[in-house]
């Protein structure tokens, strides 16, 4: 008998991965921690594989979990989009601003699926540093943006906090003094809190490599040039996530906000794109 993967179980799994712990995921979903743990165990029984490593410091993906995650995220995104597709036929143009950390992850796939469901709608994804994002927003090229809201002129409609994780490559000595770092070039709103976490822990550091783009940061981390603070979804092959306070201090969460032009209120296409962004992030 063929068994289906329930979207509720997949949502519990994805939320736990994004939150980095079962307790934070339960809070985000409005559930109790035992109830969420039961859902995760049910999903593991359904797949026949352990999906998460559980520890006092949080959860991390097993190899089976890494394989399932992109499918789970896409199923959830398609489910939300299918509901919209059955209710209305959308057309028009929507400029979407995304920080590169999101534009390089699985969110573009959700937008691509959305485009296939709405062939008369055109989506343009714009990824750039904060000041350039502001300029495109002011010019009207971007209608809706998911980024650091400090750079944009209008208040966010909603916000989400996402965890950062240390990522390192092979051969990097995490006990070196000073610690070598790989950072995004300025302007980057995440640099200051990351460096503050090291200062508060009494760790000396040096900037070994900077890049304006995620691809450059990835290459430097894989080469072992330094440790980088990344969203968990952006840790790729050749990198290892470090969640050990004895080696590196815990990193603060970062806040992303959904900002859209006031003139787009009530626009069904922009409303639907916002629903996709909320569903995936």
Under CATH, to which class is 7-76 assigned? mainly alpha
pLDDT over 70 for what percent of the chain? 94
Asked if residue 25 lies in contact with residue 37, where contact means CB atoms within 8 angstroms, the answer is no
Pick the CATH number of 165-252 from 3.30.470.20, 3.40.50.450, 3.40.190.10, 3.30.530.20: 3.40.190.10
Q: Give residue-wise pLDDT tens across range 82-134.
A: 766 565 668 899 999 988 887 767 677 788 888 878 888 888 888 888 888 88
What contacts 142, CB < 8 A, 6 or more positions away? 95, 96, 97, 126, 133, 136
CA distance 141 to 120: 19
90-161+256-280 CATH fold: D-Maltodextrin-Binding Protein; domain 2 (3.40.190)
The per-residue pLDDT for 84 is: 60
The domains spanning 7-76 and 90-161+256-280 adopt the same CATH topology: no
Whole-structure pTM value: 0.64
The per-residue pLDDT for 148 is: 83
For residue 71, pLDDT over 70 is answered with yes
Question: Average pLDDT of 202-227?
Answer: 94
Ordered by start, the domain boundaries in the chain are: 7-76, 90-161+256-280, 165-252
Q: For the chain, give the number of residues.
A: 281
Average predicted confidence (pLDDT) for the chain: 87
């Amino acid at each position: 008998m063929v068994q289906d993967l329930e979207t509720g179980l997949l949502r519990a799994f994805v939320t736990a991965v994004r939150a980095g712990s079962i307790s934070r995921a339960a809070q985000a979903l409005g559930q109790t921690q035992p109830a969420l743990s039961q859902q995760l165990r049910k999903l593991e029984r359904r797949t026949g594989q352990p999906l998460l490593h559980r520890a006092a410091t949080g959860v991390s993906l097993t190899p089976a979990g890494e394989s399932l995650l992109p499918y789970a995220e896409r199923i959830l995104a398609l489910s939300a989009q299918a509901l919209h597709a059955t209710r209305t036929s959308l057309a028009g143009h929507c400029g979407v601003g995304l920080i590169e950390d999101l534009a390089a992850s699985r969110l573009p796939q959700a937008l691509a699926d959305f485009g296939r469901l709405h062939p008369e709608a055109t989506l343009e994804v714009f990824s750039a540093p904060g000041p350039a994002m502001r300029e495109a927003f002011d010019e009207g090229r971007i209608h809706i943006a998911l980024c650091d809201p400090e750079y944009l002129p209008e208040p966010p409609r909603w916000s989400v906090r996402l965890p950062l994780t240390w990522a390192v490559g092979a051969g990097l000595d995490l006990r070196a003094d000073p610690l070598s770092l790989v950072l995004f070039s300025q302007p980057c709103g995440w640099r200051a809190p990351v460096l503050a976490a090291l200062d508060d822990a009494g760790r000396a550091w040096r900037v070994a490599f900077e890049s304006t783009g995620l691809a450059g940061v990835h290459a430097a981390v894989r080469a072992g040039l330094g440790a980088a603070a990344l969203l968990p979804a952006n840790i790729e092959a050749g990198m290892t996530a470090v969640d050990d306070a004895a080696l590196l201090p815990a990193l603060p969460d970062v806040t992303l906000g959904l900002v859209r032009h006031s003139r787009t209120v009530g626009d069904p296409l922009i409303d639907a794109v916002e629903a996709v962004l909320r569903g995936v992030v």
